[in-house]
A and B are shown apart, each in its own frame.
Chain A
Amino acid sequence: MSVLVLAEHDNATIKPSTLNTVTAALELGGEVVALVAGHNCKAAAEAAAKVKDVSKVLHADDAAFGAHIAENVAPLVAKLAQGHSHVLAPASTYGKNIMPRAAALLDVAQISDIAGIESADTFVRPIYAGNALATVQSKDAIKAITVRTTAFDAAPAEGGSAAIESVGGTGDAGLTSFLRLEQVKSERPELTTARIVISGGRGMQAGENFKMLEEIADTLKAAVGASRAAVDAGFVPNDYQVGQTGKIVAPELYIAVGISGAIQHLAGMKDSKVIVAINKDEEAPIFQVADYGLVADLFKALPELAAELKK
């Protein structure tokens, strides 16, 4: 048995999601081979080779892979997956975009967003926004899987010394080209890997009020997130969204401010270790999952919280 892991990276470094995916791969047993497909991505391949217990790194360097275009990367994944029992990618937008395309090329089903491994062919995954957990068994020869990163610890980024093997690309399919990435630069930790997350919802009333959350985030070294309502209202960009269709987070501490707690939002954060809810509506469903609930007007509570945390 051997597991091919599609490594998520930015050509220079590997993303933390890759480390969680390696842990899931190791749990399956057998050899773990990481595929780093990119352009001028030698540094990322070297980083992947250092991950503990990765046996081999396949390094595919081609201009066609630079922007992770699925039409170009998926045929390579499908080609290299032959001979492996499993092919895994993180269930990030990167993995979700590429893996189903590769699975279809292999004519195998994909098991999306696994949160548990029962055996080499049996997995647990959330359905209905996490309101049910399904145990499913794959009958395909090659199991194509995306991994819920919050459900698996990160593998140590150091301690490995895997051999790096260059593999040829499958070229540019000539279908899609990357134009640009509009990115909001932030000095704060990344939402999906932050130890503490503070999120705002519709109750924040305006984008500028998120400054109150940012101030607290800076004190706590936390990431700032949001509910769908806050993103739809244009308070904050899309990459802040936590929920069923946004990012899944499971930090040590999640502080929900002015968020009512729709099931779609709970789906993205209810595996957090400690949940704090601040909401003026004491009937808000968010209180049903909160370890500590504070019924208060957030515009009064947030300045107090900022001051108290600095004490």
Chain B
Amino acid sequence: MKILVPVKRVVDANIKVRVKSDGTGVETQNVKMSMNPFCEIAVEEALRLKEAGKATEIVAVSCGPTACQETIRTALAMGADRGILVETDVPLEPLAIAKLLKAVAGKESPGLMLLGKQAIDNDCNQTGQMLAALLGWSQATFVSKLAIEADHAEATREVDGGLEVVKVKLPAIVTVDLRLNEPRYASLPNIMKAKKKPIDVLKPDALGVDVTPRVAVLKVVEPPKRSSGVKVPDVATLVAKLRTEAKVI
């Protein structure tokens, strides 16, 4: 079985983003970019399935500008076999990405697609579900445990009420949550090897996908700041303040 793993290039999770002074977005120039942490978990899970003999080939796919090749290289250095870049400078929304991925899936015929449940830049949490809808496939979202069988998978989902276990028919879309695994670091020899692995470049037009944005970003601002509070010397003072000043207990 072939596994397709879409990966997204985002501002590194450890960077505190700054809103641009002109209000058009956040500063991404000269900022460290990395693979979305949830996508790393998806890549790791695909690799483990291959190591367990459940998958034969791992293909990492990214949609966006040329620089997304770096993100694909990261996946290749972790152990993915090859990459596909759907190259465009148009800012992509989840629906457009889902359409591009559907087209790629049509060419590659994977048995499973593993995606991060959300990207830490726009926090949309949509792409996997949209892709599943467009393909007419089953979906298991927010997955923290995954077992692949012959024609189905059993997935444990992290839901608000606890853990939900579902059986999904393959091929399926699985979006991964934090506790599915601990992604590996790429070793130096594997980083070198990854440079030789192939990356195909496709264009949205050639895939017949219209990626025109449906949503206009009118402005981006900083959230209101909380005024800094006070330090209290001891527990008794804390409780007294909560009772008489804040009046919340």
Contacts and interface: CB of A to CB of B under 8 A. Distances in A.
B148 interface: no
Interface of B: 11, 13, 16-17, 19, 26, 38, 93-95, 98, 117-118, 120-134, 137-142, 144, 154, 157-169, 177-179, 214-223, 226, 228-232, 234-236, 238-239, 241-242, 246, 248-249
Interface string A14-51: 00000000000000000000000000000000000000
Interface string A223-256: 0000010011000011100001101000011000
Contacts of A179: 154, 165-167
Nearest to A78: B133
B122 to A, nearest CB: 5
Contacts of B236: 304, 308
B167 A176 contact: yes
Contacts of A263: 16
Contacts of B177: 238, 245
B232 A294 contact: yes
B160 A136 contact: no
A137 to B, nearest CB: 5
Overall SS of chain A's interface = mixed
Given A71-B139, A288-B228, A100 B126 contact: yes
A305 B238 CA distance: 9
A228 B178 contact: yes
B229 A291 contact: yes
Contacts of A304: 234-236
B94 A270 contact: no
Contacts of A294: 231-232, 234-235, 238
B126 to A, nearest CB: 4
A181 to B, nearest CB: 5
B84 to A, nearest CB: 21
A133 interface: yes
A133 B138 contact: no
Interface of A: 69-71, 74, 92-94, 96-105, 107-113, 122, 126-140, 173-184, 192, 196, 220, 228, 231-232, 237-239, 244-245, 247, 252-253, 263-264, 270, 273-276, 282, 287-296, 301, 304-305, 308-309, 311
A212 to B, nearest CB: 13
Contact of A104 (B95, B125, B226): B95
21 contacts: A70-B141, A96-B129, A104-B129, A109-B95, A112-B126, A128-B120, A131-B223, A132-B17, A132-B220, A133-B223, A137-B216, A139-B214, A176-B166, A238-B162, A245-B177, A274-B242, A290-B229, A291-B246, A296-B234, A304-B234, A311-B239
Contacts of A274: 242, 246, 248
Contact of B160 (A130, A239, A275, A309): A239
B138 A245 contact: no
Contacts of B242: 253, 274, 276, 292
B91 to A, nearest CB: 12
A135 B125 contact: no
